[in-house]
Structure 1
């Protein structure tokens, strides 16, 4: 049998990324604390920043985000 992939809630991903961006945790420490691969945290961080950049640029494809 193959390995089943873990799924991470959006809230947890956001909390991890924000703690890294704030400098509260390093990527390695966050990965250890939450049992997440470091490369996955880097991916989430990149996605988070790109989405924010797109939103600031006026991209209206915000999928349910309202003002």
Structure 2
């Protein structure tokens, strides 16, 4: 059988991304310490920053739900 995929909790992902953004660790060093592929850290970092940008722009995660609820009413 194939190798089982490893999963990381949101808290672990956040800690890794924040340590890279703060400059405490480089991407390569964080990848070695946490046994994560560098490209995955880059992906998490991009997702983290994009979500922050969207939130600052006023996007709210529940906007789609609210819109659907109003449509249903």
What TM-score does the superposition give when structure 2 sets the normalisation length? 0.82
Q: Quick check: which one's helix share is greater?
A: 2
1:19 aligns with 2:19: yes
Offset at residue 61 of structure 1 (A): 1.3
Secondary structure of the structure 1 residue equivalent to 2:28:
helix
Aligned residues: 62
- Name the residue aligned to 2:31: 31
Structure 1 residue ranges without an equivalent (≥5)? 63-67
Coordinate RMSD, CA, aligned: 0.8
User: Which aligned segments of 4 or more residues in structure 1 are displaced greater than 6 angstroms?
Assistant: none
Which structure has the bigger radius of gyration? 2
Structure 2 residue ranges without an equivalent (≥5)? 63-73
For 1:1-67, list aligned pairs within 5 A: 1-61=1-61
What TM-score does the superposition give when structure 1 sets the normalisation length? 0.89
Offset at residue 3 of structure 1 (A): 1.4
